[in-house]
Amino acid sequence: MRMSTRRAKSFGLLAALLAIVLLAAACAGDDEEAVTEAPAPAPTPPAETEAPATDEAPETDDAPPPPPPAEPSGPLRVAIVAPSASNDLAFTQSIVDGVAALGETRELEVEVTDGTFIVEDAAVAIREYAESGFDLVIAHGSQYGGSLQEIAQDFPDTSFAWGTSNDTFGLANVFAYTAASDQGGYVLGSMAAALTETGVIGVVGPIEVGDAKLFVDGFVSGAGAQDSSVDVNVVYTESFSDVAKAAETAEAHVSQGADVMTGTAQMVVGAVGVAQREGAAWFATQADQTELAPEIVVASQVYEWEVILSEIAAAIDRGVKGGESFTLTLANGGLNIAFNDAYGLSADIRAIGEDTVAGIIDGSINTMGEAAPAPSGPLRVAIVAPSASNDL
């Protein structure tokens, strides 16, 4: 599917008005030159007639400051290539919603190619958007990194962004973005451990990479910190898109006693369906999944990609094509915990979540456990080699 939003007409009118203003200014300037070049009366002998010449230099000190940088010459053309449906209530929808939010603050022209879970198809779309002259091509999927690294080098004047990763490949026209999803994972895990009655929690993971792995690791860490006696069973399906496999994994968790579950990536709709049928509580990530099953979704970690997309757009306005990486966090507002009021979560468990958010932001909580102790002394190193140290 391809979605297009165009606002070129509004810019055309602006350009026309600007041209009229510039023409008027030019005409005024010509009139002033005519006045200054008109023949002047014959100079009189007194020395005072030379005073204007001496007064010209100070006038340069009062010259107006240089004009501010020019506004963008038109809408920022943004293309999105993503692996699943734009309304998946998960990974792809998070970036589509983020670009839409950015469009509320500046003029954009947006096109989306979704459902490109086959990497080769995504690579074709990425290249076509670059060839079409888009200002920013977003490859939304860690599986697209290899293709993007190759394609970006063929289009040095085009900005590319991809995630979730911090790797720009050392290319000056590639932005990288990711989410510190372990933070929200830790918050949700803490609440899940307090909520479970069976003491068993199930996690449905996709592939052990990127923000998916971060989320799962943070969730497990948070649950353990809240209640070390809780069993958190993690299963990776090795797929971002296999809904049936996600459902099978969720069924296995329920059969082992899980009454609370979570999962990440676009395939979790299968797991949510099982949780809904079995009455298990669900903690969501990437997007607010409340509408999937309002009676079981407790809370969601929501990615607010517009926080970093606005920085990328501002960099492009300054002429920066890439070479920078960005991360969503609870502190910068890029991550948000959305509670489902319809679930009826107890005030005590909600307070655990809110207090955990505050602790992560102020640094008093480490989402990956205790920090390693500082070295107690110098590291002693010994080297055994076959010849002299100065053997050249």
pLDDT at residue number 269: 96
Is residue 97 within 8 Å of residue 145, measured between CB atoms? no
Residue of 283 and 67 predicted with greater confidence: 283
| 49 pLDDT above the threshold of 50 | no
Structural domains of the chain, with CATH: 76-180+307-326 (3.40.50.2300), 181-303+335-362 (3.40.50.2300)
Phi-psi region of 8 (alpha: psi -120 to 50; beta: other; left: phi over 0): alpha
Percent of the chain surpassing pLDDT 70? 78
Q: What is the pTM of this model?
A: 0.76
Q: What is the pLDDT of residues 171-193, one digit of tens each?
A: 999 999 999 999 999 999 999 99
Residue of 260 and 52 predicted with greater confidence: 260
Average pLDDT of span 312-334 = 98
Average pLDDT of span 255-280 = 98
Tell me the average pLDDT of the chain. 86
| 7 pLDDT above the threshold of 60 | no
Average pLDDT of span 369-387 = 63
User: Which tokens sit at 362?
Assistant: 């102020």
Q: What is the pLDDT of residues 105-125, one digit of tens each?
A: 999 999 999 999 999 999 999
Quickly count: other Cβ atoms within 10 Å of residue 238's Cβ.
Answer: 11
Contacts 24+ apart (CB under 8 A), 129-135: 129/79, 129/81, 130/154, 130/155, 130/158, 130/160, 131/155, 132/79, 133/77, 133/158, 134/77, 134/78, 134/79, 134/158, 135/76, 135/77, 135/78, 135/159, 135/316
Q: 35 falls in which pLDDT band (50, 70, 90)?
A: very low
pLDDT at residue number 38: 41
